[in-house]
Amino acid sequence: MTKRNDMFSNDSGQPRVSSPGDGRWLFFTKFLKRGKVIASFAPSSRFMVRTLLKGIDFEKCRCIVELGAGTGPITQELIRRASPTCRLVIVEIDPDLAAHLRRRFPGVDVVEADAADLDHILDERGIDRVDHILSGLPLPSIPEEVRERILDVAARRLIEGGSFRQLTVMPLVYYRLYRRYFQAVRFKFVPLNLPPGGVYVCQEFHGPTGRRATPRRRRWGFWRWQRFPRHGVDRADT
């Protein structure tokens, strides 16, 4: 496995991060122009990033893929936490955002490409299996055939026990969508993000089905139910 020595500036092990700014204005202008593709007006907050990465054993990881990296708030934390032997592949389709990521994180493997080409991206790098796939893509608004292609590649490439983790700024709205593809789905609510959102942690891919999971609701309403069979809803520990 190739070490990420070029990502570190000295022997202290601290990741090298350039200083072109965090790209908030760039992100906002992209949202104004492409609101259907970029679903949020602001990059993910530290609370969202913390929740997305919670539970990942970075010491054991050998490869993590990020899809739809935007301006890099998750990328920055990945670099900080991952061991030098963990390979990071950062995928961003927008040319301006990809260029920003390269300037901000020199030495990181930033790929300007469509996430639907993930199979080809991994093959080019000689990567067979992936520990975790982190997605900032607007999957519900992506054409179904493209979405299925992305999730199928994720399923085939993930190691046993690996996870597909999806950000959202529409808490629980698309829960049933992910249950169509994964047997085990947990949603973690992040109220302190702007706008409030959450993270789907998905495992045990079973392919698209017509099955619709119905939550067990309690008498006092939708937002108070807490558990599902083999999956659930949590409030993020922020």
pLDDT of 66-116, one tens digit each? 999 988 899 999 999 999 999 999 999 989 899 999 999 999 999 999 999
| 223: helix, strand or coil | helix
- Give yes or no for a contact between 132 and 74, defined as CB atoms under 8 angstroms apart: no
Structure confidence at residue 204 (pLDDT): 92
Tokens linked to 158: 């993930």
Alpha-carbon radius of gyration of the chain: 17
Residue 205 CB-half CA count within 13 A: 21
Q: Which domain holds residue 105?
A: 5-212+220-235
- Give yes or no for a contact between 173 and 113, defined as CB atoms under 8 angstroms apart: no
What is the CATH number for 76?
3.40.50.150
Q: How many domains does the chain have?
A: 1
Structure confidence at residue 117 (pLDDT): 97
Q: Cα–Cα distance between 88 and 202 in angstroms, integer?
A: 20
Residue located via tokens 């950000």 = 167
Structure confidence at residue 173 (pLDDT): 85
pLDDT tens across the length of the chain (238 residues): 444 444 444 343 434 444 445 565 455 465 445 545 555 544 568 999 999 999 999 999 999 999 999 888 999 999 999 999 999 999 999 898 999 999 999 999 999 999 999 999 999 999 999 999 999 998 888 899 999 999 999 989 999 999 999 998 888 888 988 998 899 999 999 998 878 889 999 999 887 765 443 333 333 333 333 333 344 555 443 3
Q: Cα–Cα distance between 127 and 109 in angstroms, integer?
A: 13
Q: Cα–Cα distance between 109 and 53 in angstroms, integer?
A: 19
